[in-house]
Amino acid sequence: MPRSLNSLLPLLTVLILASSATLLAQAPPSEQLQVAPPQMRRAEPPNPSWTADQLEQQGDLLRVEKAYLDALDYFTAALPKASNKALLLNKIGITNLQLQRYKDARKYFEKATKQDKTYADAYNNIGVIYYIEKKYGKAVKQYDKALKLREDSASFHSNLATAYFSKKEFENAMAEYSRALQLDPDIFERTSQTGVAAQMSSPEDRAHYDYMVAKMYARLGISDRSLEYLRKAMEEGYKDINKVYEDTEFATLRKDPRFTQLMAARPQAIPE
């Protein structure tokens, strides 16, 4: 190789490396993957001299801070000292659920129900695990158990409705959603990011869900939210939107000028 070319090699190498670095820096964010670090303990180990209440309160604080492994340490340390073991077993189950350890979560929820057969929250939480596992029939049975113990829980009715909806038992779902709304008119606003709509894979299912919610709000005379969910249904491409002119629940809403304006505008379906 000529001496002059040899002398250029280091410079060429630097230029190639610099060019590669520039291309990597300009790569779309979606192509730059990063693996999240595993959960690690951040707090001091539980103090053996603390009371059950002190350990539980510290566990609650750590769980709020999303230090789930540390929270488990404190709840577990509190358990032998606790007078209400069912409550702590349920908290251990919830913390495992937040760590996505579903098998362990269900085990602790079931232990909680054995400690206290009237503990409605634990039955509901077992239902949540079954729902996550797409075992909707089993989820329904657990939600039913919870509701027999506490019929006035809006979240239990909403969870049961969600399971019915996933089974495509729409009439049962409608009845349970309606009961949830009667108990708590804000139930859907608080669960919209985490509830049934957030877990639906198809736009058709989401659109159907939004239409059902619009119908229920219309039945309760809550026009603003009914119109909001009607818009969502159209944006999701609900194919039977013209039923809004036939369904009796919308009879009063149809007299609202905002309804006429919305239906005239016909918001277009938003592509996935």
- Alpha-carbon radius of gyration of the chain: 27
pLDDT in tens, 246-256: 999 999 999 99
Other residues' Cβ atoms within 10 Å of the Cβ of residue 169: 16
Is 227 a residue whose pLDDT tops 70?
Answer: yes
Q: How far apart are CA 31 and CA 24, in angstroms?
A: 10
What pLDDT score does 203 carry? 75
**Residue 104 forms part of a structural domain:** yes
Q: How many domains does the chain have?
A: 1
Is 68 a residue whose pLDDT tops 80?
Answer: yes
| Domain with 72 in it | 47-117
What pLDDT score does 13 carry? 46
Is 201 a residue whose pLDDT tops 70?
Answer: no
**Residue 250 forms part of a structural domain:** no
pLDDT band at residue 270 under the 50/70/90 scheme: low
Residue 131 CB contacts under 8 Å (≥ 6 apart), including other chains: 139, 159, 162, 163, 166
**Residue 67 forms part of a structural domain:** yes
Q: How far apart are CA 45 and CA 68, in angstroms?
A: 13
pLDDT band at residue 271 under the 50/70/90 scheme: low
Percent of the chain topping pLDDT 90? 66
Query: Regarding predicted confidence, which is higher, 15 or 168?
Result: 168
